[in-house]
């Protein structure tokens, strides 16, 4: 009797479903109804800035005002847990300082399946927040000195989440890597490419890894030179402790000192933030941000007009060689650099070429496009300003377009340059300056960009500026726009600088429209 009653009830429900079910939507229609909505939660990870006793670091946080953002929320940065090994090296040029720290001690704190033991459970960000954002639209800064600043773990939710950005800028006046180091704190991910890293004797390059989760992450680091993949000393990967950070000196992973390598950081379990800190014994240094995902066409924006040397490093991760057309987007249009019409990149090998002073006193961006069948590549630039003993280095990775909005922090009244490039079509862009971290009133201005050109714009600095301010870049119409920001400052007679590409801030996400569909009960 129960079985019969159940069958009758099911038939009744199915009949009602057939009578009241809405008309089925096509896949095209359903996809077209997806709407862009502000994100409601964001994580950012900041690497340990420096271990130099004379380092001066400024960290700045900012969220653009988003009208349709969620209510409430907060944004704060907390110190990451100490290194698993507890090693404290003072000299950044000391080769022993950056060996895969804690790769032995960290074993046992986390198994490869992601289980958490007592040690992992106790690893929580300690102390009070290092930096807390009070309101959207106004940056907040914190200055610090010395080499004991930790890596930071940041979380923003509610109205603070869409477009939340954190900038880290460090000045070091002497020693390996002296100069200006700048990076934007990154979202956690599982795959990173760093063309332009080095294992040479004159370079001290560290991979900084930060883990935002309460279970350990296991990370593989692969190095590729001009002859292919290099054999490395950590086949079992590097363990990054829960809510902690590790840094690995690249030159300790291989016995081949090479000036140009491509570093590939892939996460076997968990997720991390990754940055490469490049310290040159004679030519300064900077952070190397991850390059855009492998693609057949790439844009590397914002080469300073007074660059004395520009070096292109490219790598083809697949099984096919890549042939790329090389063009420079100048202020007047796209041109082909003399003597470098095309670049051949062998599969699995890092290719580098010297472009010298390719900009010749004008703003420029490098455009790479496939000459035939598209073969994905990753690429980056090493840029040098100055001459002789007063040279300083920065890095420009290939980057993505600004689709909705990008933000650059730490801008000053002098020494800030914003470069915008429209590689394939004319475009219109709105640039807004925020209030200053110490006071001032922001303003906005609209700029028109011509196809194939790079424009160093005259910044709309806030009136009555005190402290630093944020720049918000928003495409209005036309083709894709790519952006980079340069900070420059004189340090003991050296033209110190740092260049940062500005991809989209991913403050919005596509949310598909859903409707009730009871026809599934008929299947």
User: How many angstroms separate the Cα of 338 from the Cα of each of 295, 305, 385?
Assistant: 25, 17, 21
- Collapse the DSSP code of 283 into the 3-class scheme (helix H, G, I; strand E, B; otherwise coil) and give the result: coil
Q: What is the pLDDT of residues 16-49, one digit of tens each?
A: 333 344 444 444 444 455 678 888 999 999 999 9
Q: Count other Cβ atoms within 10 Å, centred on residue 232.
A: 15
Cβ atoms of 433 and 410 within 8 Å: the answer is no
- Collapse the DSSP code of 218 into the 3-class scheme (helix H, G, I; strand E, B; otherwise coil) and give the result: strand
Q: Which residues pair with 76 in a beta bridge?
A: 132, 155
Buried b (16+ CB within 10 A) or exposed e, 308-343: bbbbbbbbbbeeeebebbbbbbbeeebeebeebeeb
pLDDT of the residue at 507: 84
Low-confidence residues of the chain: pLDDT under 70: 1-34, 82-127, 513-514, 520-523
What lies within 8 Å, CB to CB, of 504 at 6+ separation is 400, 401, 402, 403, 404, 405, 406
What lies within 8 Å, CB to CB, of 357 at 6+ separation is 307, 308, 309, 310
Cβ atoms of 169 and 486 within 8 Å: the answer is no
pLDDT of the residue at 204: 96
Residue 438 CA to residue 413 CA, distance in Å, equals 13
Rounded to 10 degrees, the C-alpha dihedral 203/261/275/96 comes to -40
For tokens 């907040």, the residue is: 140
Cβ atoms of 499 and 484 within 8 Å: the answer is yes
Residue 114 CA to residue 417 CA, distance in Å, equals 44
User: How many angstroms separate the Cα of 343 from the Cα of each of 108, 291, 314, 367, 382?
Assistant: 47, 18, 9, 12, 17
Cβ atoms of 207 and 47 within 8 Å: the answer is no
Of 389, 127, 351, residue with least CA distance to 224? 351
pLDDT of the residue at 125: 55
CA angle 361, 499, 230 (to 5 degrees): 110
Strands 228-229 and 273-280: unpaired
pLDDT of the residue at 265: 98
Residue 522 CA to residue 18 CA, distance in Å, equals 8
pLDDT of the residue at 123: 44
What lies within 8 Å, CB to CB, of 36 at 6+ separation is 404, 508, 509, 510, 511
pLDDT of the residue at 111: 35
Please name the helix (run of DSSP H) or strand (run of DSSP E) that holds residue 254, with its range, or none.
Answer: none
Q: What is the pLDDT of residues 59-118, one digit of tens each?
A: 999 999 988 888 899 999 999 986 654 434 444 433 333 334 333 333 333 333 333 333
For tokens 């001066």, the residue is: 56
pLDDT of the residue at 389: 86
Residue 481 CA to residue 295 CA, distance in Å, equals 17
Q: Where are the beta strands (DSSP E) in 173-243?
A: 179-184, 191-197, 203-210, 217-225, 228-229, 238-240
Please name the helix (run of DSSP H) or strand (run of DSSP E) that holds residue 118, with its range, or none.
Answer: helix 118-122
pLDDT of the residue at 100: 40
pLDDT of the residue at 21: 41
User: How many angstroms separate the Cα of 413 from the Cα of each of 207, 355, 461, 466, 468?
Assistant: 32, 31, 7, 9, 8
pLDDT of the residue at 107: 33
Residue 47 CA to residue 247 CA, distance in Å, equals 9
pLDDT of the residue at 343: 95
pTM (predicted TM-score): 0.85
What lies within 8 Å, CB to CB, of 45 at 6+ separation is 151, 152, 153, 154, 185, 186, 187, 188, 210, 212, 272, 273
């Amino acid at each position: 009797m129960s079985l019969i009653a159940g069958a009758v009830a099911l038939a009744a429900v199915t009949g009602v479903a057939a009578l009241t079910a809405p008309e089925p939507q096509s896949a095209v229609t359903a996809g077209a109804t997806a709407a862009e909505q502000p994100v409601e939660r964001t994580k950012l990870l900041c690497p340990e800035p420096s271990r130099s006793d004379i380092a001066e670091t400024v960290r700045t946080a900012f969220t653009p005002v988003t009208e349709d953002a969620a209510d409430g929320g907060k944004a704060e940065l907390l110190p990451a847990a100490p290194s698993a090994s507890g090693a404290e090296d003072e000299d950044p040029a000391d080769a022993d300082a950056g060996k895969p720290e804690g790769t032995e001690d960290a074993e046992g704190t986390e198994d490869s399946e992601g289980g958490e033991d007592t040690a992992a459970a106790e690893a929580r960000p300690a102390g009070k927040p290092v930096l807390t954002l009070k309101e959207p639209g106004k940056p907040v800064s914190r200055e610090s000195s010395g080499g004991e600043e930790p890596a930071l773990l940041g979380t923003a939710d509610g109205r603070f989440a869409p477009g939340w950005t954190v900038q880290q800028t460090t000045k070091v006046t002497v020693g390996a890597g002296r100069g200006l180091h700048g990076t934007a704190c990154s979202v956690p991910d599982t795959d990173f490419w760093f063309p332009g890293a080095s294992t040479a004797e004159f370079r001290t390059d560290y991979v900084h890894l930060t883990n935002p989760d309460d279970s350990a992450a296991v990370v593989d680091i692969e190095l590729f030179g001009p002859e292919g993949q290099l054999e490395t000393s950590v086949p079992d990967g590097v363990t990054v402790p829960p809510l902690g950070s590790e840094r690995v000196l690249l030159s300790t992973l291989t016995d081949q000192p090479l000036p140009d390598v491509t570093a590939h950081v892939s996460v076997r379990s968990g997720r991390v933030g990754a940055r490469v800190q490049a310290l040159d014994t004679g030519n300064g240094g900077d952070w190397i941000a991850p390059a855009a995902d492998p693609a057949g066409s790439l844009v590397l924006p914002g080469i300073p007009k007074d660059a004395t040397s520009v070096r292109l490093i490219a790598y083809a991760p697949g099984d096919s060689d890549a042939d790329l057309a090389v063009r420079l987007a100048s202020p007047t249009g796209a041109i082909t650099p003399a003597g470098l019409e095309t670049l051949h990149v062998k599969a699995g090998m890092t290719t580098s070429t010297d472009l010298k002073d390719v900009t010749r006193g004008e703003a420029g961006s490098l455009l790479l496009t496939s000459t035939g069948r598209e073969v994905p590549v990753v690429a980056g630039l090493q840029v040098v300003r100055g001459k002789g003993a007063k040279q300083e280095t920065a890095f420009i990775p290939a980057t993505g377009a600004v689709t909705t909005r990008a933000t650059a922090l730490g801008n000053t009244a002098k020494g800030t340059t914003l470069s915008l490039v429209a590689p394939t079509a004319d475009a219109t862009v709105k640039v807004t300056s925020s209030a200053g971290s110490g006071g001032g009133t922001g303003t906005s201005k609209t700029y028109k960009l011509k196809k194939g050109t790079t424009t160093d714009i005259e910044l709309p600095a806030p009136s009555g500026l005190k402290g630093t301010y944020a720049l918000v870049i928003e495409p209005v119409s036309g083709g894709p726009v790519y952006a980079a920001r340069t900070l420059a400052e004189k340090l003991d007679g050296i033209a110190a600088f740092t260049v940062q590409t500005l991809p989209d801030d991913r403050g919005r996400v596509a949310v598909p429209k859903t409707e009730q569909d009871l026809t599934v009960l008929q299947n």
